[in-house]
């Protein structure tokens, strides 16, 4: 990989995506520095998940996406998996699979074809399960977990993958406010300790602003605003693009967005 000083973790140039005959992304540009946390917001259907899928290489967009200086289409699947890990908005839960086996899927890029997981792979899995407050969950069947527990298992799989770029599509939407904070604090701590880069989408705008270095407001498949939480979370922009009546009040870690009734 051709990383040098100043090479961004993510570089998206003029990303256009058409799905089912409709233009979903209409020329999106985005640069994310190594170690940065960027959160993409925008109304339902704005194209947030589509953008994350393209950045993760789950959607073909030749020439539009580079990760750490390498065009994503020239990374082989296994190499890509060591670079970028995605937690999808609603991951498929394989029937009958245990938590341990599910999180072990994150180690696939390190396991030789037709080989078995090593002791190091298992150790990595147990370590993330502990970190995510899931010790003893390994033998449980994934389908029997609560929404919040399952969400933490999805994150565990991504962390076990050991990728330096994490793409989190609404990672906290199934969580109560306590677990939301716990998961986001953990991601932020890991980011600092391991120089991870985080690109997330989130619907809770106050929470989004508290954890993001920068925010991108996506609307109708285009970038409507990009900048610090203070620059993006304004009453004017949110009224215009969400048709929402909100008050924005200053908070310690970023603006707090409070919905208020229109009349
Ligand atoms: N496979 C697909 N075929 C057709 N349209 C799609 C497909 N996937 C997503 N879309 C459409 O693209 C738009 C953006 O979707 P998405 O990226 O999931 O938005 P968001 O995550 O911001 O809510 C939506 O209108 C959605 O219906
Ligand atoms: Mg989405």
The residue contributing the CA closest to ligand 1 atom 12 is: 24
Structural domains of the chain sorted by starting position, each given as residue range(s) with its CATH number in brackets: 10-259 (3.40.50.300)
Q: What is the pLDDT at residue 1? A: 52
Q: Which ligand is nearest to the CA of 19?
A: 1
Q: What is the pLDDT of residue 262?
A: 87
Residues contacting residue 54 through CB under 8 Å, at least 6 positions apart:
12, 15, 17, 25, 61, 64, 65
What is the Cα gyration radius of the chain? Answer: 19
Residue minimizing CA distance to atom 2 of ligand 1: 19
45 C-alpha to ligand 2 centroid (Å) = 7
Mutate to test the pocket of ligand 1, among 15, 18, 23, 49 (most ligand atoms within 8 A of CB): 49
The per-residue pLDDT for 25 is 98
| Spatial separation of the C-alpha atoms in residues 161 and 147, rounded to whole Å | 22
Burial class (CB in 10 A: 0-12, 13-18, 19+), 169: buried
Q: Which ligand is nearest to the CA of 24?
A: 1
Distance, CA 256 to ligand 2 centroid (Å)? 22
Cα(169) to ligand 1 centroid in Å equals: 13
Taking the centre of ligand 1 as the mean of its atom positions, its distance from the CA of residue 25, in whole angstroms, is 9
| Residues whose CB falls within 8 Å of the CB of residue 161, separated by 6 or more in sequence, listed in order | 81, 82, 85, 106, 107, 109
pLDDT of residue 47: 97
Report the pocket of ligand 1 as residue ranges, CB < 6 Å: 19-20, 22, 24, 42, 44-50
Token readout for 243 is 């048709």
Spatial neighbors of 189 by CB under 8 A, at least 6 apart, are: none
* Per-residue model confidence (pLDDT) at position 85: 96
Question: CA 53 → CA 17, 57, 103, 163, 167, distances in Å?
Answer: 11, 6, 20, 16, 9
| Edge-first strand listing for the sheet containing 37-41 | 84-87, 165-169, 197-201, 37-41, 214-219, 222-227
> How many whole angstroms from 201 Cα to the centroid of ligand 1?
14
Distance, in Å, from the CA atom of 258 to the CA atom of 249, rounded to the nearest integer, reads 8
Tokens 């900048």: give the residue. Answer: 227
List, in order, residues 6 or more apart from 76 with CB less than 8 Å away: none
Q: What is the mean pLDDT of each run of 10 residues along the chain (263 residues)?
A: 78 97 97 98 97 96 96 93 92 91 93 88 92 90 90 92 95 86 89 94 95 97 98 97 95 94 86
Give the pLDDT confidence score for residue 2 in this predicted structure.
53
């Amino acid at each position: 990989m051709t990383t040098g000083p100043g090479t961004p973790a993510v570089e998206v140039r003029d990303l256009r995506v058409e799905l089912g005959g409709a233009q979903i992304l209409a020329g999106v540009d985005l640069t994310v520095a190594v170690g940065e946390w960027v959160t993409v917001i925008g109304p339902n259907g704005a194209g947030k998940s589509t953008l994350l899928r393209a950045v993760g290489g789950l959607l073909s967009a030749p020439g539009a996406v580079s990760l750490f200086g390498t065009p994503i289409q020239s990374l082989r699947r296994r190499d890509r998996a060591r670079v970028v890990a995605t937690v999808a908005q609603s991951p498929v839960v394989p029937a009958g699979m245990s938590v341990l086996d599910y999180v072990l899927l994150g180690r696939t890029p390190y396991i030789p074809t037709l080989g078995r997981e090593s002791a190091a792979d298992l150790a990595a899995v147990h370590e993330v399960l502990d970190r995510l407050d899931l010790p003893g969950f390994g033998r449980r069947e994934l389908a029997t977990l609560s929404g919040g527990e399952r969400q933490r298992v999805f994150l565990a799989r991504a962390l076990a993958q050991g990728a330096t770029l994490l793409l989190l599509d609404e990672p906290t939407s199934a969580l109560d406010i306590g677990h939301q904070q716990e998961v986001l604090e953990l991601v932020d701590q890991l980011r600092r300790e391991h120089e991870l880069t985080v690109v997330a989408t989130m619907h809770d705008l106050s929470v989004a602003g508290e954890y993001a270095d920068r925010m991108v407001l996506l609307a109708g498949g285009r970038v409507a605003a990009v900048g610090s939480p203070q620059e993006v979370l304004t009453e004017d922009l949110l009224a215009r693009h969400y048709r929402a009546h909100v008050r924005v009040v200053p908070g310690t870690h970023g603006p707090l967005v409070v919905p208020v009734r229109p009349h």
